[in-house]
Homo-oligomer: A and B are copies of this chain.
Amino acid sequence: MSTTTRAVLFDEAHPLRLSTGAELAPVEVAYETYGELDADRANAVVVCHALTGDAHAAGDGGWWSTLVGPGRPIDTDRYFVICANLLGGCSGTTGPSSTDLKTGAAYGLRFPLLHMRDLVAVHRALVAHLGIDRLHAAVGGSLGGMQVLQWALDHPGEIERAVLICASARLTAMNTGFTAAARAAIMRDPDFHDGDYAAHGTAPRTGLVVARMMAHLTYMSEEALRRKFDRERRVTDARMAFDDDFEVEHYLTHQGEVFPERFDALSYLYLTRVMDYFAPFEDPRLDLAAVDTAFQVLSFDTDWRFGTEHSQYLAAQLRAGGVAVDDEEIASPWGHDSFLLDVSEYHAAVARFLAAPAPASHVAGTPPSAD
């Protein structure tokens, strides 16, 4: 069991230079580690969280305790596991609701816009800070998988194995439509105050509740909702009302209501925007020939947030550059949320990929650099 550590990785003298050219300092990072680092520092695994996650991946209440822990697929008896809160987040790492030391107030919308590369830069700095040169693996689900992909594409030599679970390399118009509706709910909330809600002693709670109710539906499958709730009602008489009568309403309301207690509206805006703009295979600087990471790309058959077609596109782009990809669609009724759940075929696939000798990162006979 780990407790969260905070480290200032960039300061005024050594600011974080963002992909837009802007500079940010200080940048503090909240992280946890599990297990022990080997003497040769070769057993480190970074796990990257999704949109609303945090550094507490494993142990009691850990968001990925199904996957990470002693004897789990990411076995902390074997690997030294690192999990950090994202840049732009709200659980200990610097983000738009952090205090801008220049003004003494929260950044708000004056916080610089972020690219996936900036999130990677902070995690790389943490790995260096921990004295690690090369990761046995980096593993991420959803936004976390997207971050791992950017890292592996940009920094050969640093990640031996990358596991991308229900990730995407190119959001669809439907995906961006849903994040746009969520952002509209937040930014049109009168308590948003152009992002300066902290100065007004308030927060766009209503907007966050509605955004979460809507987003939560995209994380579940029709089948999951049917199994959990179907058309079950809470009142058994014939009363019809606008308060929560169907169990699915009650559940969504609960998910919405608890969300503002643990997540910040500005982080929601910044991190969803990072995903909207993420399109690494359209980047002219991409050099797939240099990539030396072996990829496992997993998707779930009932996921309609980032379904198998997203993973197929991602895998096809890698393969077109000669990169070795082990991809698999896992059957699971639980939709996008499956990556957080104990789905045995999925867990077995991750355990197998992590434990196997490092596969060749390029398909034999087709190194793109030799073409």
Shortest CB-to-CB span from A118 to chain B, Å, is 11
Contact with A209, one of B188, B209, B222, B226 (Cβ below 8 angstroms): B188
Of residues 179 to 195 in A, which have CB atoms within 8 Å of B's CB atoms? 180-181, 183-185, 187-190
* A170 at interface, CB cutoff 8 A: yes
Contact B231 A171 (CB under 8 A): yes
Q: How far is the CB of A295 from chain B (nearest CB, A)?
A: 23
* Total copies of the chain: 2
Interface of A is mostly: helix
Q: Of the candidates B190, B225, B269, which one forms a contact with A190 in the assembled complex, judged by CB atoms under 8 Å apart?
A: B190
Q: Which residue of B lies closest to A240 (CB)?
A: B113
Say if the beta carbon of A273 comes within 8 Å of chain B: yes
User: Range of interface residues on chain A?
Assistant: 35 or more
Q: What residue in chain B is nearest A230 (Cβ atoms)?
A: B173
Across the interface, do A214 and B181 meet the contact criterion of CB distance under 8 Å?
Answer: yes
Cα–Cα, bound, A226→B172 (Å): 7
B172 and A184 form a contact (CB under 8 A): no
Interface string of A138-179 (1 = CB under 8 A from B): 000000000000000000000000000000001111101110
Assembly CA distance A222 to B305 (angstroms):
11
Of listed A177, A230, A231, residue having the most chain B CB within 10 A: A177
A280 within 8 A of B: no
Which residues of A are in contact with B by a Cβ distance under 8 Å? 20, 109, 113, 115, 170-174, 176-178, 180-181, 183-185, 187-190, 206, 209-210, 213-214, 217, 220, 222, 225-226, 228-231, 238, 240-242, 244, 246-249, 252-253, 256, 269, 273, 276-277, 279
